[in-house]
A = this chain, B = another copy of it.
Amino acid sequence: MIRTALDQIALQVVDLHKYFEDSHVLRGISFTANRGEVVALLGDNGAGKSTLVNCLAGKLLPTRGEILINGTKQVINSPIKAQNLGISVVYQDLALIKEMSVVENLFLNREIMHSNTLLNRLGWLDKKAMEMRANKLLRRLGGEGIELQLPVSMLSGGQQQIVALIRAVNAGANIIVMDEPTAALGSEQCNQVIRLIRLLSSQGATIVLISHNLGQVAKLCDRAVVLYQGQTVADIAVKEVTQLELLALMSGKQCDGVSANQFSEYKS
């Protein structure tokens, strides 16, 4: 697979901090992700991964620190802003509207409007087009069995996750952040997601992937950024470490192969 423009930094996070009242959840997160790269974000439960994702998504405002998109410093103060910056997110809690149907969720805020100019102005929806599109998208990720008109609350856990994934991927974003996107998926669906991620990154998208499945990470990712209690403790090429070493890093232990300082080289 050919990685394009690997040297272009798409996303850079510099010394990010986040407090919730007086609990200091992110205590200095720094890492970079290049164009077309798949970066794993690893860490134990409660390490702060989702909090970081929320900061990138504009759902939370970091207390301190910088986020650079394509080299420019940005204040991501709302999900709309994140969207405009080309960031798309699969949230751990999916953030779907359970009462609304699958199509409605897939196209919320990205509705396909009627082609007639007048109706288009009014925001008149082209329901047919959306359904056709949705069917195509679902097939791509093994979601053929999902009934388009069913409210999301009636889908199985895995089916809901597929819907959230498709929604995020369909945004045509340059940076896609995925918070445990395969946690509820079966093996076959998992593989389809892995193939999709490969495809997207080959097309130049930057992927930040959170996963507890180290096997998947080893197969898929170029680099791994390890968080421990809200701090980045390592940022290393996946090929250079074993899974055991990664586990050690995640539980706060130093390991022989990589020193925690090693990752400071990546810092600008």
Chain B residue at smallest Cβ distance from A190: B212
Q: Are A185 and B20 in contact (CB under 8 A)?
A: no
Chain B residue at smallest Cβ distance from A153: B93
Q: How many residues of A contact B (CB 8 A)?
A: 37
Q: Chain B nearest CB: distance from A59 CB in Å?
A: 14
Residues of B within 8 A of A156 (CB): 45-47, 49-51
Tell which of B43, B147, B159, B184 touches A180, judged by Cβ atoms closer than 8 Å.
Answer: B184
Task: Tell me whether A172 is interfacial, beta carbon within 8 Å.
Answer: no
Q: Which A residues are within 8 Å of any B CB, using their own CB?
A: 20, 23, 43-47, 49-51, 92-93, 142, 145-147, 154-159, 162, 180, 183-190, 212, 214, 247, 250-251
Tell which of B142, B155, B157, B214 touches A187, judged by Cβ atoms closer than 8 Å.
Answer: B214
Q: A20-B154, A46-B145 are in contact. Are A251 and B93 (CB under 8 A)?
A: no
Chain B residue at smallest Cβ distance from A93: B157
Q: Are B251 and A188 in contact (CB under 8 A)?
A: yes
Residues of B within 8 A of A43 (CB): 186
Given contacts A50-B157, A186-B250, A190-B212, 7 further A-B contacts (CB under 8 A): A44-B188, A46-B155, A46-B156, A47-B156, A50-B156, A184-B212, A185-B212
Q: Are A46 and B184 in contact (CB under 8 A)?
A: no
Residues of B within 8 A of A44 (CB): 158, 186, 188-189
| Residue picked from A46, A50, A159, A184, most chain B C-beta under 10 Å | A46
